[in-house]
Structure 1
Amino acid sequence: MTAVALPPRVMVSAPASGSGKTVVTCAIVRLLQRAGMMPAAFKCGPDFIDQLFHREVTGTAAGNLDAFFSDVHALRALMARGAAGKDIAVVEGAMGFYDGMAPGTTDGSAYDVARATGTPVVLVVPARGASTSLAATVQGFCRFRPDANVRGVILNGCSAHACAYATEAIERECGVAVLGYVPRDDAFALESRHLGLVTADEVSGLRARLDAMADILADTLDLERLVGIARAAQPISVEPYRTAPERAAAPRIAVTRDEACCFWYAENLRMLQDLGAELVPFSPLHDAALPAGIDGVYLCGGYPELHARQLAENRALREQIRDALADGMPCVAECGGFLYLLEHLEDEAGVSWPMVGALAGSSRRGRGLEHFGYIELTVDRDGIYGSAGTVLRGHEFHYWRADEEGSDATARKPRRDRSWPCLVHTPSLAAGFPHVYYPSNPDAARAFVRACEQYGKQGVHAG
């Protein structure tokens, strides 16, 4: 494999969550496309939803770059793979720039990703009600770590006059370019939901709204200067991340892709394809049957509780999936996909609906946000991901709870003395709330593909 140079790149970060990173990132990506460039959009951290918005803008999503999931070399290799064939990489930060996986640490932060990949940073700074004080905020972020590599600032929520007042102080005191501002405008408002932003499919007229954002920033942002910052990123060469094929394996794996189940890591899907799998999209909401001739199924996470009635009404598909799993068809079901496999799912209104019934029990809203954040997952029982002792990294983030959430693995919070049992793990099934990141342990993905290959050799395909 030949090493390639990482592309021009820039990170859009902020002092804290809620500063406007996602909408600004999407608008910048759209502006770059209009300028004739081909951008790759990445997300720091484990978040799925922001990548859905990136996908809506770019047509594809480059992936997640996460310093808990991956070491320095892997982060660079994953960026090279996700940005292959692109002119520029735009990386959206997570939370505040320095916020790590535990209080008091920068481990796993956007800062860690920027440092590992040599990516210069542009801060989106909320500017309403401040002027010269903004220079103190920017200066603090620049000096908190000497290698922060903050090269630009975008002021969010202010007028042209307010931006002009603040620019002189910021550039004089901090030596950082003010690239422009985002005016207060309804075009930049997106609704919130219990996991952050609503999914891209649920925003009415999203494409038009993204274009409206880009129209505004075209007049208020110095795009040429931002591209100059990206092109000044330090030269780094690395071999793009790839996984060696699993012998001559070529199983067909059905992967959920619709409004109910749309949370997946691009890196996971690429790894399954590298290993030899053919991925076939299907919709638990809209398809009457599984794709023909499949050897396994990947039920991704999402918001099944918001679509419980429609999922329930698709009885033929539910019964087909239940029968296929009973027959031993390999299946990975994560979070929302796990809820879909249970006997019943309670929607937001408290109404219970029948689901697949491959696993006993029901699910309902819990008391609040459950098991939020990163986990290290240790498998305690042999199964589809490998033998007991197999370790993977991933995350949990859910408000719903299940009667039975599995006890075949142990999830542990990094840097904290907290753990809990989770996951149903058998030779043909991995089902539970954890979202697993396959590059953290390629052998687990390899074992899944191998199980699908063996099932296919039996000649009893689903669909």
Structure 2
Amino acid sequence: MRLLLAAPHSGAGKTTVSLALLLALRARGLRVQPFMVGPDYIDPTHLEKAAARRPYNLDGFFLDETGLLALFRHGARGADFALIEGVMGLFDGKDPRGEVGSTAQVARLLKAPVALVVDAKGMAGSIAPLALGLRDFHPGVRVVGVFANRVGSERHAEILKEALKAVGLPLLGWLPQDPALELPERHLGLVLAGEMAPPLEALRRAFRVELEEVLRLAASA
């Protein structure tokens, strides 16, 4: 089973949702191996805390297809579930369409279903056309659902769910808007996990996830 988390842009909450999902999968008794798209060395320090397994970096610019797939197979050996965190926006890479060096490129090479992470603060029905555009932009990238970050309330989550249902995408889970769940940032991105403790217990309590649906979609890879 494998699932790739992507976003429309940087700062949407991919790492935060990745941490929460890693914890939920491990609580289910699964051995989960995290991966990170790109050469990022900061986000993986947080993923390692949640997964208790060292992440691997998958980079379509520095690695050719054979090398990337071999590294993925090596890293996923012995795991029940591979969770891949994307970099930047889904189609952000070396070229305008994200054919090289992007999250989308890695999703295509791994044939991995993609779940979008959307910052839903100040958003309601607009989540649907946003997700629809990303889903339909490239036929080789299979977007299967959405996680919403910074959700205002249970009612807000229901509105998002109904909007996505109209375009055939499930709301797979959500995190509330809460400063206690956010990871501090600086000029290079997130603060290293060795310099601050990621809010794992708070994320575990706050995360609302349709885990059976997540597992079903991940098994469709």
Taking structure 1 as the reference length, what is the TM-score of the superposition?
0.46
In terms of mean alpha carbon deviation, does 80-89 or 183-192 score higher?
183-192
Q: Secondary structure at the match of 1:169?
A: helix
C-alpha deviation, 1:126, in angstroms: 1.2
Q: Answer yes or no: is the 8 Å Cα contact 1:167–1:178 preserved in 2.
A: yes
Equivalent position of 2:45 in the other structure: 52
Q: Secondary structure at the match of 1:97?
A: coil
**Which of 141, 144, 166 in structure 2 is aligned with 1:172?**
166
Q: Gaps (5+ residues) in structure 1? A: 1-7, 234-463
Deviation per CA, 1:231-273: give whole Å up to 9, x if none.
111xxxxxxxxxxxxxxxxxxxxxxxxxxxxxxxxxxxxxxxx
Q: Secondary structure at the match of 2:183?
A: coil
Equivalent position of 1:211 in the other structure: 201
Equivalent position of 1:224 in the other structure: 212
Deviation per CA, 1:129-177: give whole Å up to 9, x if none.
221111110110011112220001011111221121121221222x211
Q: Secondary structure at the match of 2:25?
A: helix
What amino acid is the match of 1:154?
F
**Which of 59, 66, 70 in structure 2 is aligned with 1:73?**
66
Equivalent position of 2:78 in the other structure: 85
C-alpha deviation, 1:197, in angstroms: 0.6
Deviation per CA, 1:400-435: give whole Å up to 9, x if none.
xxxxxxxxxxxxxxxxxxxxxxxxxxxxxxxxxxxx
How many aligned residue pairs are there? 220
Task: From the two aligned structures, give the one with the greater strand fraction.
Answer: 1
CA RMSD of aligned residues (A): 1.3
C-alpha deviation, 1:74, in angstroms: 2.0
Equivalent position of 2:100 in the other structure: 107
Residues 1:94 and 2:90 aligned together: no
Q: Residues 378-397 of structure 1 correspond to what in structure 2 (within 5 A)? A: none
Alpha-carbon separation, structure 1, partners of 2:162 and 2:188:
38
Residues 1:163 and 2:151 aligned together: no
Q: Residues 63-462 of structure 1 correspond to what in structure 2 (within 5 A)? A: 63-103=56-96, 105-158=98-151, 159-173=153-167, 175-203=168-196, 205-206=197-198, 209-217=199-207, 220-233=208-221
Greater C-alpha radius of gyration: 1
Alpha-carbon separation, structure 2, partners of 1:38 and 1:216:
22
C-alpha deviation, 1:102, in angstroms: 4.2
Alpha-carbon separation, structure 1, partners of 2:99 and 2:170:
25
C-alpha deviation, 1:105, in angstroms: 4.1
What amino acid is the match of 2:205?
D
C-alpha deviation, 1:72, in angstroms: 2.2
In terms of mean alpha carbon deviation, does 117-126 or 99-108 score higher?
99-108
Q: Answer yes or no: is the 8 Å Cα contact 1:62–1:83 preserved in 2.
A: no
Q: Secondary structure at the match of 1:201?
A: coil
Alpha-carbon separation, structure 2, partners of 1:44 and 1:120:
15
Alpha-carbon separation, structure 1, partners of 2:179 and 2:138:
35
C-alpha deviation, 1:75, in angstroms: 1.7
C-alpha deviation, 1:189, in angstroms: 1.1
Q: Percent identity?
A: 38
Deviation per CA, 1:190-215: give whole Å up to 9, x if none.
11122111110111x43xx2122022
Q: Secondary structure at the match of 1:51?
A: helix
Equivalent position of 1:262 in the other structure: none
C-alpha deviation, 1:16, in angstroms: 0.3
Alpha-carbon separation, structure 1, partners of 2:96 and 2:200:
34
Whose relative contact order is higher, 1 or 2, with alpha carbons under 8 Å and at least 6 apart? 2
Taking structure 2 as the reference length, what is the TM-score of the superposition?
0.95
Q: Secondary structure at the match of 1:200?
A: coil
Deviation per CA, 1:322-381: give whole Å up to 9, x if none.
xxxxxxxxxxxxxxxxxxxxxxxxxxxxxxxxxxxxxxxxxxxxxxxxxxxxxxxxxxxx
Q: Answer yes or no: is the 8 Å Cα contact 1:43–1:94 preserved in 2.
A: yes
